Amino acid sequence: MSTKHFTEDQIKARFGVYYAIQDRGYKTPCWIWNNDAGRDYGRIVFAGKRQLAHRVSFQLFKGPIAEGKQVCHHCDVTKCVNPDHLFEGTQVDNMTDMKIKGRRKNKCFGTNQLASKLTDAAVLEMRRLRESGLIYREIAKLFRVKRPTAYSAIVGRTWAHVA
């Protein structure tokens, strides 16, 4: 049934039966979504389609989500739907928040990746060559990688841990 037949208070009340309030060590308690066991993020049918519960919470309590924006968690609890714990941001904002808080799950980067074709020393040499005026395409050819791989390593989009 479409949510357009319900008042906003009815929708919020219906939403409220799917979470439990738990203290998870953040400033205020989290509202833990319990309608989707076994998933990282909760889901609910809202406005006629299945959506992520934290995004629905944001819309219900804070308003529409801007085009191209994500709903991120201050508390870092993916199942939390407490609107006070949610903020709107870009993918870059979310990744920056993750780095600042030291919660990067995938610590497999650089030579720790099995498919890595470069080394820390190679990346430093690539950066030195670029500073000396060599173009990305030529650097990529020297190190037998594609131009986007060389570019990303040189500008620090990848291999950011190499200084």
136 within some domain: yes
163 within some domain: no
162 within some domain: no
Measured CA to CA, the distance from residue 27 to residue 84 in angstroms comes to 10
Residue 4 has pLDDT above 80, yes or no: no
Give the domain extent around 38: 3-101
Query: Which of 115, 142, 114, 145 has the alpha carbon at shortest distance from 128?
Result: 142
Segment among 65-74, 78-87, 88-97 with least mean pLDDT: 88-97
pLDDT tier at 3 (50, 70, 90 boundaries)? very low
78 within some domain: yes
Per residue in 84-142, pLDDT (tens digit) is: 999 999 988 888 888 788 776 555 566 666 667 899 899 999 999 999 999 999 999 99
pLDDT for residue 53: 92
Query: Which of 24, 128, 9 has the alpha carbon at shortest distance from 84?
Result: 24
Do 13 and 56 fall within a single domain?
Answer: yes
**Roughly what angle, to the nearest 10 degrees, separates helices 147-155 and 120-131?**
90
Mean pLDDT of 32-54: 82
Do 24 and 88 fall within a single domain?
Answer: yes
133 within some domain: yes
Do 68 and 29 fall within a single domain?
Answer: yes
pLDDT tier at 1 (50, 70, 90 boundaries)? very low
What's the pTM value of the predicted model, to 2 decimals? 0.59
Do 34 and 74 fall within a single domain?
Answer: yes
